[in-house]
Structure 1
């Protein structure tokens, strides 16, 4: 009798241990599957524009990636990165830039449309998402576009300036983005240490919507320079104030920068209108200064 009870008790314990082991095994298998990543690869993102939106030349350097509305992160392009998902997913990609040209301040550019791509992710497999393109948001207002292809340029040298801004041809421009009519730029030459350069946008601009300050105001600029120069805003109101926004460092080749005017405009909310200005001065005992500007775009919503 005692032996029978002992056998039944042992069988029951064995069954409980077996069930617990199987449950643990299944749990480990599930956890293991969840821990196996799928991979996404993105090469580049190009910009497609209409004839009214200026150049398609851009400096999209990052992809801000969401899978099914979950942020995976911001990845410098080209990128390959793991995601802990599999199966059918919707990938949403926001084109990213360097704010004010600074590598440490990166953000999704508010004027570019997100790119949505349906994919099927597989564990340990790479899903390639290539040949992506974005466009400007339909709500983007192009307040000012200057590509210097027209002889009547929209930058004025001020009475404070010792040198003038001139329109010049630059063969290097046509190689930046083949297929575009992009042959002319603005040039400033400063030969004397004491010489000062200053120019302003010909027109002034208002950045309010029904009395509210616009949420995003940026200026895009292509430039090539062997000296530093400053970009700023002149705020007109009860007082006229000059507000430097950014000092741009030398670049021996054509570069693209996205300048964020929004904080300066918000800080001067009493201003009724603004102009953009550029200033520069030759470094003492340095080489003759040469600055070239092209493809200016002033954007807001």
Structure 2
């Protein structure tokens, strides 16, 4: 009995001894390149969701150095991610772009392997306004309507200060302090919550402006509106990815327009806080799978 007790104690002691610490290899993941019109300069892919041999290892701001406990030839998947609705705390996989993958990434303990991920638009992507029409550079751009009932205030399509080629320009002053512009109608947008619908857009502005969805529900021709996003002043061109899925699910419309409202801001006393305002918008893409 003493021998059995001693043997059990020895086995427990051996099992409790520290195991040798596994030395990780490292993956240095560079920023995504984008194979599409405008290349990477038109995009703002900031995150990557990484899987190694089918195991999810986390989401990382790119570029990143990631410790990996796998060893030898490994399969790596990397999903491109964006700041959803421009919110730093809300990174999300961008489903419109394809994942990068390789089955031949060699991982060696104590060494660093660098990968250069690339992506492009999923071949199944539906461009609701048509490919390239939101860039305002060709002969068939998105049709825009002035909706503010002021014949003096309007938008223009210009090369002045454009991100690339031409852009839509809206200018305000105290005599004409409001511009409202609606796009042409689009139909067939998913309203069940799946697949997701996203709006890509470049913008620069020195006053806030607002994006709404106008929609009809098929029961009446009257348009209803739903607020989507407030754009704050941005001195430089900024790229934003807006997830419209929830707005579409809530509204259950049949036809939609994008509606941009640019009021000259006022202070708490009702006086104009700026004498002029300028908003530029470019590369509008309304997308779903």
**TM-score per shorter chain, which class?**
0.7 to 0.9
Say if 1:55 and 1:295, in contact at 8 Å, map to a contact too. no
Per-residue deviation, 1:273: 1.1
1:205 — aligned with what?
Answer: 187
Q: How does 1:256-295 map to 2 (within 5 A)?
A: 256-269=239-252, 271-283=253-265, 284-295=272-283
Picking from 167, 174, 192, the partner of 2:157 is 167
Say if 1:185 and 1:294, in contact at 8 Å, map to a contact too. yes
CA distance in 2, matches of 1:205, 1:45: 32
Say if 2:84 and 2:241, in contact at 8 Å, map to a contact too. yes
Per-residue deviation, 1:157: 3.3
Say if 1:38 and 1:122, in contact at 8 Å, map to a contact too. yes
1:5 — aligned with what?
Answer: none
Picking from 139, 147, 170, the partner of 1:188 is 170
Q: Secondary structure at the match of 1:96?
A: strand
Q: How does 1:117-136 map to 2 (within 5 A)?
A: 117=102, 118-130=104-116, 132-136=117-121
2:135 — aligned with what?
Answer: 147
Give the TM-score, by structure 1 length.
0.81
* 1:158 and 2:146 aligned: yes
2:53 — aligned with what?
Answer: 68
Give the TM-score, by structure 2 length.
0.84
Indicate how the Cα distance of structure 1 residues 223 and 112 shifts in structure 2: closer, same or farther if over 3 A, else same: same
Indicate how the Cα distance of structure 1 residues 44 and 170 shifts in structure 2: closer, same or farther if over 3 A, else same: farther
Say if 2:146 and 2:155, in contact at 8 Å, map to a contact too. no
Indicate how the Cα distance of structure 1 residues 263 and 193 shifts in structure 2: closer, same or farther if over 3 A, else same: farther
* 1:228 and 2:174 aligned: no
Per-residue deviation, 1:250: 1.2
Say if 2:193 and 2:246, in contact at 8 Å, map to a contact too. no
1:176 — aligned with what?
Answer: none
* 1:46 and 2:33 aligned: yes
* 1:106 and 2:91 aligned: yes
CA distance in 1, matches of 2:280, 2:143: 13
Q: CA RMSD in A?
A: 2.6
Alpha-carbon deviations, 1:191-236, whole Å to 9, x = none? 117621111112332214xx95652111100111111111121110
Q: How many residues are treated as equivalent by the alignment?
A: 270
Per-residue deviation, 1:171: 5.9
Per-residue deviation, 1:43: 1.6
Q: Which has the higher helix share?
A: 1
Say if 2:174 and 2:275, in contact at 8 Å, map to a contact too. no
CA distance in 2, matches of 1:74, 1:199: 38
Name stretches of at least 5 consecutive residues in structure 1 with no aligned partner.
1-8, 174-181
CA distance in 1, matches of 2:250, 2:141: 30
Give the structure with higher Rg (CA). 1
Indicate how the Cα distance of structure 1 residues 231 and 159 shifts in structure 2: closer, same or farther if over 3 A, else same: closer
Indicate how the Cα distance of structure 1 residues 55 and 277 shifts in structure 2: closer, same or farther if over 3 A, else same: farther
